[in-house]
Amino acid sequence: MLVVDHPVTRLGVRLALDGGAVVCGEAEDVVDAVGIARREQPDVCLVGMGVADGGVEAVGRLREAFPGVAVVAMAHEPDPEELLAAVRAGAIGYIPACIERSALRRVIRAARDGEAAVPRTLVLELMQELRAAAGDGRHDLTARQVQILGMLRVGSSTAQIAERLRISPITVRRHVSALVRKTGVENREALVQYEHGSIPA
5, 50 in Cβ contact below 8 A? yes
Q: Which CATH number fits domain 137-191: 1.10.150.130, 3.40.718.10, 1.10.10.10, 1.10.1040.50?
A: 1.10.10.10
- Give the closest residue to 111 by CA, choosing from 52, 63, 151: 63
| pLDDT higher than threshold 70 for residue 200 | no
d(CA 190, CA 121): 30
> CATH assignment of 2-122?
3.40.50.2300
Using the predicted structure, report yes or no on whether residue 124 has a pLDDT greater than 80.
no
- The DSSP H or E segment spanning 165 is helix 158-165
* CB neighbour class for 49 (10 Å; exposed up to 12, middle 13-18, buried from 19): buried
pLDDT in tens, 67-115: 889 999 999 877 777 888 888 889 999 998 888 888 899 999 889 888 8
| pLDDT higher than 60, residue 7 | yes
pLDDT at 176 exceeding the cut of 90: no
Question: What is the spatial distance between Cα 196 and Cα 13, in angstroms, rounded to a whole number?
Answer: 41
Which of the pair, 120 or 169, is modelled with greater confidence?
A: 169
**pLDDT value of position 131:** 60
pLDDT tens digit string along 29-63?
888 999 999 999 999 999 999 887 788 889 999 99
Amino acid at 9: T
Q: What share of the chain is helix, strand, coil (3-state, %, to 5)?
A: 55, 10, 35
- pLDDT for residue 118: 81
- Buried residues in 82-102 as b, exposed as e (16+ CB within 10 A): bbbbbbebbbbbbbbbebeee
CA atoms within 13 A on the CB side of 115: 7
Instruction: For residue 199, name the pLDDT band (cuts at 50, 70, 90).
Output: very low
Residue extents of the structural domains in the chain: 2-122, 137-191
- Asked if 76 contacts 97 with a C-beta cutoff of 8 angstroms, the reply is yes
Supply the mean pLDDT for the chain.
82
How many other CB atoms sit within 10 Å of the CB of residue 18?
Answer: 12
pLDDT surpasses 70 at 136? no
